[in-house]
Structure 1
């Protein structure tokens, strides 16, 4: 549940925390209105963790229309890494 829904896996229960932060303006005070860092820290399986990952995406391309938040751009990447790693470890 929550903002990390795109990290959900069919075979394993995973856990994680999303993050979205505005980048500061270069040479100025304040934050950029359109530059972000999107992140997701998570792992699995939840009941006995075997893998933990951190995905951080600096300045996700908003023009692609896929969003810019940790839940929309970083969580799916983390899910793929977790899934492939757990499949490998299961061999």
Structure 2
């Protein structure tokens, strides 16, 4: 049973930053996903992939994974880049 730990990013559809700094531990699927013959939706029998645990810091997430014997890898947070431009640049 493997897991990945990543930092939740800001929601692009809302202006608020609630839950943006949380660290999330999600389990990875141990079995491949397969299409359902009736509907065509992909799915699997592994319910562990539906589990998502949140922590305030990276150290708490790592500590939990080590205490429970879960193999994990940390995904570094993406750095936000801002493109500074003026309103007049829209009409060039």
Which has more strand, going by share of residues? Answer: 1
Same-fold call, TM cutoff 0.5 = no
User: TM-score, normalised to structure 2's length?
Assistant: 0.31
Which has more helix, going by share of residues? Answer: 1
Q: Which has the larger radius of gyration?
A: 2
User: TM-score, normalised to structure 1's length?
Assistant: 0.32
